[in-house]
Structure 1
Amino acid sequence: MQRTFPTTDIYAITDNNLSLGRSLEHVVSALLRAGVRIVQYREKDKDAGIMLEECRLLRRLTQEAGACFIVNDHVDIALLVDADGVHVGQEDLPVAAVRSLVGAERIIGVSTHGPNQLAQAIAQGANYVGVGPVFATNTKKNVCAPVGLDYVRHAAKHSSIPFVAIGGIKEHNVASVVAAGATCCCLVSELVGADTIEEKVAHVRATMAQADK
């Protein structure tokens, strides 16, 4: 079965440390009820066995909701749970190596921080790229300096594959990211750390739609 990157406005990433003590199932179920159609599992500080079980849960939830499920970094776990794809960073396995493991049908996303990395990811056969960090962010360790809106504008003009703007994006600044040309934005703490996740998704979506007019 060919997996495709969905045409959607919000890309959600899990983070247990920012979820206000709520379970992964609670958070992701709320995101899916709110209409989020792509969820990435990114938990850096858990044992492999726990990550496998959590990804099995998320695979079931996303399948039931008709949503796309991406696993960060762990190609082995992505394959074991039949995820739709895997996302890798600049320090992880290269796209060609990942493709040899996951096959032609699965989605590969790559984090990029500038035009040269964008061009390289496209040339290597990535299905989508992350563009960022747009703003300063504390949700990921060892993150590079913010790349700003200029790189978003560059990606909007030059990327031949879908891109996701990521890094420090909140309800209060997402309009500027959309105005720079992003059609899909990733929010982490703003969503998983919201008191009412469904309401936050609705507010962010409305702000994005207004900025796109």
Structure 2
Amino acid sequence: MSAADFSLYFITDRAQSPGGSLSGVVRAALEGGVRAVQLREKDLGGRDCFALAMELRSITSAFGARLFINDRLDVALAVGADGVHLGAASLPIREARRLAGPRFLIGYSAHACDEACQAEADGADFITFGPVYHTPSKASFGPPFGVGALKMVCSRVNIPVFALGGVKITSISEVLAAGAGGIALISAIMASSDPRQAAVSLLQTIEKHVQSSR
């Protein structure tokens, strides 16, 4: 079994929540079946990030879910998170592995095929690739890469690839058919008025595709 033993990778952004606390949204998503959460609140300093990560570590542990911290390896190690999610401007993957050990999970945000291949070679356990579709949160990367680029990346690496960027419930089958091991998303849960039901619906759609592909 892959170390990335989940099909839905929920990434936080409390600015997108229509109301309520981030921990409340995360708890609701976990109640809906989510088993992997990435804390990604880039505006927080180390102390505030640590405090929020501690809170989410307690919640995710209660559900047997994995917790990843975006970029901050120090915070991830301090709270006993399952892993860290890195990018091009982060600590290099090899250094993170040296510091954290072999059982610690490392995700990586890739935006090109060569970058994805290099991340695998450096020791990443899984990658997110995108934006596959249009999404305001990834506008800085230019036009969406499309499903064709996703399919190419999936064919070139042997670690799980999570499709990221504008993925909606109606496009889940398309990205999974392209070879993605799962989906990574923010707004589909964060911006939902019912995060629990959003998670349930997303996971049911993933499972339906998996069953129909057997």
TM-score w.r.t. the length of structure 2 is 0.91
Which residue of structure 2 lines up, in the alignment, with residue 169 of structure 1? 167
Out of 175, 185, 188, the residue aligned to residue 186 of structure 2 is: 188
- RMSD, matched Cα: 1.7
Q: What's the offset of the Cα at 1:157?
A: 2.2
Distance 1:53 1:100 in 2: 25
Distance 1:64 1:5 in 2: 20
Conserved 8 A contact 2:131-2:166: yes
Distance 2:41 2:142 in 1: 19
Distance 2:158 2:137 in 1: 28
CA deviation profile, 1:110-160 (whole Å, cap 9, x unmatched): 111122111111111111111111112223574454221112212332321
Q: Percentage identity across aligned positions?
A: 35
Q: What's the offset of the Cα at 1:179?
A: 2.2
Which residue of structure 2 lines up, in the alignment, with residue 210 of structure 1? 208
Q: Which runs of 5+ in 2 are unaligned?
A: none
Query: SS in structure 1 opposite 2:144?
Result: coil
Distance 2:166 2:16 in 1: 14
Count of matched residue positions in the alignment of Structure 1 and Structure 2: 210
Out of 48, 60, 63, the residue aligned to residue 61 of structure 2 is: 63
The residue identity in structure 2 corresponding to 1:61 is I
Q: What's the offset of the Cα at 1:6?
A: 3.5
The answer to whether 1:7 aligns with 2:5 is yes
Distance 2:131 2:163 in 1: 8
CA deviation profile, 1:46-80 (whole Å, cap 9, x unmatched): 23211110000111111111111100001111111
Query: SS in structure 1 opposite 2:62?
Result: helix
The answer to whether 1:160 aligns with 2:158 is yes
Q: After TM superposition, list the pairs within 5 Å mapping 1:23-42 onto structure 2.
A: 23-42=21-40
Q: What's the offset of the Cα at 1:103?
A: 1.9
TM-score w.r.t. the length of structure 1 is 0.91
Distance 2:153 2:5 in 1: 16
Q: After TM superposition, list the pairs within 5 Å mapping 1:9-158 onto structure 2.
A: 9-140=7-138, 142-158=140-156
Greater share of helix residues, 1 or 2?
2
User: Where has structure 1 moved over 6 Å in runs of 4 or more?
Assistant: none
